[in-house]
């Protein structure tokens, strides 16, 4: 089995589903991590180009912990729109990853790169199967189901599925801490405790389903995506 | 594992989740079938007492096909209300069945015995665990999760979970056909094709999730019931 | 065609659907108006018994304007509960009226007599067809569809259907004015302009659907009630 | 009366509302069928250009059965976006068709051409009335109401209106069978029974509203579109 | 200003809105705390009568910390139903407390005493104003607005309003710890950390609205209850 | 405090929130009014360029009544899309206005310029804070909360907050009347009573919350925007 997780920026996957990915990994599932935007605007002081370089490295370090492939940063931050250019690149991402399951942002998340990532992934994962839509890579052989991650801080999100990540929350934290550029300046500038934020959400979602730590999800429900079984670990 | 299915009348379980029960059975799960009302008003010609007797027999025949225990008919049709008497009996049903999982009607189903069954089962399954609520039987040792069945003809119901019952739809039909009192007069008087109705719904739900036949469900989401795993087979 | 409108108190029908009833009447539909509670607590000064007597008279006057049958006040205000007594009386109401369509309160309306009326009518209209549920009157021959009226002041209500009552708003007002006991003390004590209230809602609902005055509704959607045609005039 | 039905691809209208169109036709309503995309990517083997040509012919054959005008394929598949080019062409489509009612895809349907068609039609049908938005054709004289068709396989769709198509399901099937390019390869490659799929949905929607076959819809509810009458046949 | 908080059992108010009550208190608002059920079934070992006595004392101790009046335990646990007896007592509670605002359980909370408390309070708070509904106490002079508290563990609850309780979370904890009978056996028997549970929820709700600790609410939206201002502190 | 109100066209703000703005103004809040489109297509006879000029003047007159700054018309009508050009200009609008609170259209409003305005404002108000997203103006220092205005005629809108504008409805009317180009031709051509329309909605929204005139709103609920206090006056 192959799982593709697509976030908007280099640390989103870590924040919202790394525990689940680690659990998948333990079950010998191949993990492919991606982030559409290179994160070049996620800092108040470091300039774009340098920031993109730093964050690429951070994403690679994080993926290494999981033993996951990683490919991302095809767009500058805030430069993804519903157009042909973006769609084509995401189609290729999916054609390369060839996932059995995709995990991505909720269409109701808190900022535009997240919601646009959600839309691009949804659209492209259908298109990826069509031979007459030609790109660099071969068509994927089936339309993969999609699961949406929790929104940031769980605002306006009613989960339909939970994953117990109690045994994987430390890996999740370690992966998150690879993103030092974010972790550091969020603390210094905004007083936001990066890891504490993640643990608050994970322990609340755990409380809801009766375990110490959990991640929360909703399935994407349209024809061709609905399955008569659980896809999450 | 033990599963308790509770319908309002003798044939509701067969109609709405017998395929899933058969699938559970194949996995060596113990099945306990129940119906709160004795079905004594479900006919235009047969008088109440005789009808209740007939339908009890029919329910037993159906349960036999599955190798399930069956206990039901504690109330006349249309005689369940949110009161102490009804609640106590349903608490005892649960204390006897001791289920790991309960399947019952949606709170939005099409007539009052169905919606009241849903409510009584939800309430009683919590109460069943409390020693200070004394009844004939010992308290259950934990609060079981609950899954709601599809509504009749799927009206106003958005499923969150499906069960592939392709290999069990024939057993489902056989169980349904045990309820000859219903099957016959519905055809004669109302022109309703009992088995055809069931198959239409099952094949539509199958279409939605990509299999020939399926049953559809929604989980009951309140604290203490939410689980980080799939409960259905 | 026969339409049964059931409100909680003597003036609710007038307030929420009299325009539609008048429009039905013009199309030669027989109208049957009912109110479950006698209105005996709807005043701060007039004592219960006297008030019930007054309001019965007012309801009759209003129905006369429409040429409608009227039967109501089977219960004191605030004395309807989900029990056998109430259900039986409402079953009989339906068996007497024998409606092709029932109009009643929204299950989300603003006070308990309204929501309980909604529930009793929904439940009883199914039961009314069952011969084994014996009451004074003969079973109804089919399960009638139900349409819910707007909530008071339209709070928390998203209509799915509108009726243009522009030509009938004056009749509606005249009917409303029959309920002098309400009209007068609401103005004196609470400064509420009875007729003005009604016109504000009707003109707002009209604005939404492009006519001067309208009434708003939602259909009750469960199996056996859904129809492939419009039921409202 | 004039009805414009707009699907994303050449067979969508047939699949989701041809029964309703046939019923309209019987009532002497003029039917205008359209599909925004030429269907050039809806096959795994036939190349784009040839496929577009074939499907245009198929759409014409289908429209002929109904005696409907047809105009479509203004865009290649997957080449419609929220931009000025697409909008202008859809405005012109509406200015040519001059509909009293538009039927199009649900904004929640299963793939991006469907959801974008829905959005383009909604937006363009307002714009079509504005003289200062200049295109090849004269402005339409009023903003037409819009009704959304069922989603594919009815997933995540709660209908508010149904049309009984029992007498028209054979015409619907005949129209669908005009789309041989789809019908054939879906069966050969994916084992999908094209006509069986349609009949399953239509008979399920029929079951919900008490007729043998039905199509299901939801109205688009914003100011200027809401009407105090039924628009469907 | 007077605020009445009504929970189902002696510790519910503490769990779900004590921070808000403490904040109200600081603003010189009079607080009236109530719990409808005496808590006599909330333990696996202590028998009913003794338990009710203990919990009454615990509730008084907790109220004392706040300087609030407290009155409760009018019913045994699980002995509240939609009937005249329960309604009358809750009407009297409101007529005694005479609140400007009522805070109570969400109608979607996790067990039947909670949901029934919600319903009884909603219904009774309307009735309390009617002179013709006679009880021991004088009618209340207006219909108070109602705000629903978070559900247990926030399951299935989308807040519309938050209260920052950062400065009051310690008082909340102190009040909660008055309920030693619950605190102790929940830890011993179920491994549930009473205070930890509360803090997890409060810090998650805080995270959502940008403060260290918060409580979450939804307003009850029906006519007569909606206000054009914030009612919470 | 600084409030920025952004409508799609020159008179939208007046129609949907001018009463609230006037109330803010009275509390010494600085008001910044904007409209993204220049209104050049909002007439059936006056040509685009002339119309844009007229409407700019009308908007200025209206803002003058309030003593508000006004800046708008950066785009022709129907020329805003989800692209970089539009986003950049709206980012600059926010960087210039530097609001503590933004009021804009509901994402579910009745035509595309309204819904696109809503989206652009939501997206841009996040981006406006990021230094690496460079525009003409300095980054805003925090992400402002957003409140959505009522939809046109309140269709499909369930308010969560109301503002009593009784004392400000005359100012609102006066501001609206500045838009003579709209007021006049809507009456002449469509028989729409501009001011009457506004008063119908305001008095209906007032009825719902117990005051003579009100405006209705919903908060935008995502992380970073939710506040533990009321933002409206």
| pLDDT recorded at residue A198 | 97
Mean pLDDT over D193-206 rounds to 96
pLDDT, tens digit, 9 for 90 and up, residues A79-136: 999 999 999 999 999 999 999 999 999 999 999 999 999 999 999 999 999 999 999 9
Asked if B touches F (at least 3 Cβ pairs < 8 angstroms), the answer reads no
Q: Indicate the residue of C127, C132, C222 with minimum beta-carbon distance to B151.
A: C222
| pLDDT recorded at residue E175 | 98
pLDDT over threshold 90, residue C45:
no
Which DSSP helix (H) or strand (E) runs through B85? helix B84-97
Query: pLDDT-based confidence at C42, cuts 50/70/90?
Result: confident
| pLDDT recorded at residue A190 | 76
pLDDT over threshold 90, residue A191:
no
- On the CB side of E3, how many CA atoms lie within 13 Å of its CA? 26
Percent of chain E with pLDDT over 90: 93
Q: Is the dihedral of CA B33, B38, B44, B50 positive or negative?
A: positive
E194-209 helix and E180-190 helix, angle to the nearest 10 degrees: 100
Pairwise CA distance, residues B50 & C17, whole Å: 44
Q: Which pair of tokens denotes residue C43?
A: 């005043």
Mean pLDDT over A21-43 rounds to 96
Q: What end-to-end distance do the CA atoms of chain B give, in Å?
A: 12
Q: Indicate the residue of F200, F201, F208 with minimum beta-carbon distance to C155.
A: F208
| Chain C partners (3+ C-beta pairs within 8 A) | B, D, E, F
| pLDDT recorded at residue E124 | 98
pLDDT over threshold 90, residue B186:
no
Q: State the DSSP code for C34.
A: E
Our measurement of the distance from residue A131's CA atom to the centroid of its chain's CA atoms, rounded to an integer in Å, reads: 27
Rg (C-alpha) for chain C, rounded Å, is: 17
| pLDDT recorded at residue F190 | 75
Per 3-state DSSP, chain A is made up of helix, strand and coil in percentages (nearest 5) of 45, 15, 40
| pLDDT recorded at residue D43 | 83
pLDDT over threshold 90, residue A75:
yes
Pairing verdict, β B30-37 and B2-7 = parallel
Cα dist. F82→E208, F86, F115 in Å? 28, 7, 11
pLDDT, tens digit, 9 for 90 and up, residues C75-90: 999 999 999 999 999 9
Pairwise CA distance, residues A149 & A102, whole Å: 10
Query: pLDDT-based confidence at A186, cuts 50/70/90?
Result: confident
Q: Is the dihedral of CA A210, A211, A212, A213 positive or negative?
A: negative
pLDDT over threshold 90, residue A188:
no
Percent of chain F with pLDDT over 70: 100
Residue count of chain C: 233
* 3-state SS class at C95: helix
Where do we find the tokens 């492209």? A124
Pairwise CA distance, residues A97 & E221, whole Å: 48
Query: pLDDT-based confidence at A163, cuts 50/70/90?
Result: very high
Mean pLDDT over B63-67 rounds to 97
Residues of E in contact with A207 (CB under 8 A): 153, 197, 200-201
pLDDT over threshold 80, residue A189:
no
Cβ contact B219–A160 (<8 Å): yes
pLDDT over threshold 80, residue A170:
yes
Our measurement of the distance from residue E111's CA atom to the centroid of its chain's CA atoms, rounded to an integer in Å, reads: 14
| pLDDT recorded at residue D170 | 98
Pairwise CA distance, residues D1 & C221, whole Å: 30
Pairwise CA distance, residues C110 & C157, whole Å: 11
The per-residue pLDDT of chain D, averaged, comes to 96
Mean pLDDT over D186-201 rounds to 88
CB D128 within 8 A of CB D140: yes
Q: Which pair of tokens denotes residue D157?
A: 């769709």
Query: pLDDT-based confidence at F44, cuts 50/70/90?
Result: confident
Pairwise CA distance, residues E100 & E94, whole Å: 10
Mean pLDDT over B190-203 rounds to 92
| Minimal CA separation from A82 to chain E, in Å | 29
The per-residue pLDDT of chain F, averaged, comes to 96
Cross-sheet strand order for the sheet of A161-164: A69-75, A30-37, A2-7, A101-104, A146-149, A214-219, A161-164
Q: Indicate the residue of E82, E84, E87 with minimum beta-carbon distance to C82.
A: E82
B106 closest CA partner among B215, B27, B227, B223? B215
| Chain E partners (3+ C-beta pairs within 8 A) | A, B, C, F
∠ CA(D199), CA(D202), CA(D205), 5° rounding? 145
CB C62 within 8 A of CB C92: no
CB A105 within 8 A of CB A34: no
For C216, nearest residue in chain F (alpha carbons): F155
> Is B173 buried (19+), middle (13-18) or exposed (0-12) by CB count in 10 A?
middle
D112 closest CA partner among A92, A225, A129, A122? A122
| pLDDT recorded at residue D42 | 85
CB E148 within 8 A of CB E157: no
Q: State the DSSP code for C55.
A: H
ipTM > 0.90, yes or no: yes
- For an interface test with E, the pick among F228, F229, F231, F233 (most E C-beta atoms closer than 10 Å) comes out as F228
Cβ contact C51–E83 (<8 Å): no
Mean pLDDT over C48-56 rounds to 95
Query: pLDDT-based confidence at E54, cuts 50/70/90?
Result: very high
Asked if E touches A (at least 3 Cβ pairs < 8 angstroms), the answer reads yes
∠ CA(F213), CA(E123), CA(C19), 5° rounding? 55
Mean pLDDT over B64-88 rounds to 96
- D→A contacts (Cβ < 8 Å), by residue, are 40-45, 47-48, 51, 77-79, 81-83, 108-112, 151-153, 155-156
Cβ contact A200–E201 (<8 Å): no
Pairwise CA distance, residues A157 & A133, whole Å: 34
F89 closest CA partner among F114, F55, F121, F53? F121
E32 closest CA partner among E59, E58, E55? E59
| Minimal CA separation from E160 to chain A, in Å | 10
pLDDT, tens digit, 9 for 90 and up, residues F175-229: 999 999 999 888 877 788 999 999 999 999 999 999 999 999 999 999 999 999 9
| pLDDT recorded at residue D125 | 98
| pLDDT recorded at residue D187 | 83
- E→F contacts (Cβ < 8 Å), by residue, are 158, 160, 162-164, 208-211, 214, 219, 221, 223-224, 226-230
What are the two backbone dihedrals, phi and then psi, of residue D69, each rounded to the nearest 5 degrees?
-75, 150
pLDDT over threshold 90, residue D45:
no
What are the two backbone dihedrals, phi and then psi, of residue D121, each rounded to the nearest 5 degrees?
-65, -45
pLDDT over threshold 80, residue B189:
no
- Among D4-13, E36-45, E101-110, F66-75, which stretch is predicted with the lowest mean pLDDT? E36-45
Q: State the DSSP code for D77.
A: T
Query: pLDDT-based confidence at F24, cuts 50/70/90?
Result: very high
| Minimal CA separation from B184 to chain C, in Å | 17
Pairing verdict, β F2-7 and F101-104 = parallel
Q: Indicate the residue of A156, A158, A207 with minimum beta-carbon distance to E200.
A: A207
Contacts of D50 (CB under 8 A, 6+ apart): none
Cβ contact D156–B156 (<8 Å): no
| Minimal CA separation from D229 to chain C, in Å | 7
Which DSSP helix (H) or strand (E) runs through A147? strand A146-149
A87 closest CA partner among A41, A141, A126? A126
Where do we find the tokens 């007529």? E95
pLDDT over threshold 80, residue A59:
yes
Q: State the DSSP code for A138.
A: P
pLDDT over threshold 90, residue B71:
yes
| Minimal CA separation from D37 to chain C, in Å | 31
Contacts of E104 (CB under 8 A, 6+ apart): E5, E6, E7, E117, E118, E121, E122, E146, E147, E148, E149
The per-residue pLDDT of chain B, averaged, comes to 96
Mean pLDDT over B154-162 rounds to 98
Mean pLDDT over A27-37 rounds to 98
| pLDDT recorded at residue E184 | 86
Cβ contact C208–F158 (<8 Å): no
Q: State the DSSP code for D222.
A: S
CB E154 within 8 A of CB A203: no
- On the CB side of D188, how many CA atoms lie within 13 Å of its CA? 9
- Note the pTM of the prediction, 2 decimals: 0.97
The per-residue pLDDT of chain A, averaged, comes to 96
pLDDT over threshold 90, residue A42:
no
Q: Indicate the residue of C211, C214, C226 with minimum beta-carbon distance to D208.
A: C226
> Is C227 buried (19+), middle (13-18) or exposed (0-12) by CB count in 10 A?
middle
Cross-sheet strand order for the sheet of F30-37: F69-75, F30-37, F2-7, F101-104, F146-149, F214-219, F161-164
What are the two backbone dihedrals, phi and then psi, of residue B106, each rounded to the nearest 5 degrees?
-70, 140
Cβ contact A47–F226 (<8 Å): no
Residue count of chain F: 233
Strand partners, F103: F5, F147
CB B44 within 8 A of CB B17: no
Pairwise CA distance, residues C118 & C107, whole Å: 6
| pLDDT recorded at residue F188 | 78
Cβ contact D156–B155 (<8 Å): no
The per-residue pLDDT of chain E, averaged, comes to 96
Where do we find the tokens 């700054």? F69
∠ CA(D9), CA(D13), CA(D15), 5° rounding? 100
Q: Which pair of tokens denotes residue C189?
A: 């004590």
pLDDT over threshold 80, residue B63:
yes
pLDDT, tens digit, 9 for 90 and up, residues B87-138: 999 999 999 999 999 999 999 999 999 999 999 999 999 999 999 999 999 9
Cβ contact A133–D78 (<8 Å): yes
């Amino acid at each position: 089995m192959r799982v593709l997780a697509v976030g908007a920026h280099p640390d989103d996957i870590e924040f919202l589903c790394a525990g689940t990915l680690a659990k998948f990994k333990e079950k010998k599932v191949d993990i492919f991590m991606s982030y559409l935007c290179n994160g070049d605007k996620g800092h108040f002081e470091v300039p774009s180009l340098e920031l993109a370089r730093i964050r690429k490295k951070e994403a690679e370090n994080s993926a290494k912990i999981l033993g996951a492939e990683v490919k991302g940063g095809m767009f500058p931050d805030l430069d993804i729109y519903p157009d042909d250019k973006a769609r084509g690149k995401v189609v290729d991402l999916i054609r390369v990853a060839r996932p059995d399951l995709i995990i991505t942002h909720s269409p109701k998340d808190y900022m535009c790169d997240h919601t646009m990532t959600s839309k691009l992934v949804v659209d492209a994962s259908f298109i990826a199967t069509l031979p007459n839509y030609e790109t660099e890579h071969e068509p994927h052989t089936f339309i993969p189901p999609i699961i949406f991650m929790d929104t940031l801080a769980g605002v306006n999100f009613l989960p339909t599925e939970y994953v117990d990540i109690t045994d994987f929350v430390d890996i999740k934290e370690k992966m998150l801490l690879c993103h030092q550029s974010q972790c550091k300046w969020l603390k210094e500038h905004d007083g936001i405790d990066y890891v504490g934020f993640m643990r608050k959400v994970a322990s609340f979602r755990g409380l809801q389903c009766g375990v110490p730590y959990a991640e929360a999800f909703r399935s994407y429900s349209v024809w061709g995506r609905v399955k008569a079984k659980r896809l999450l670990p």
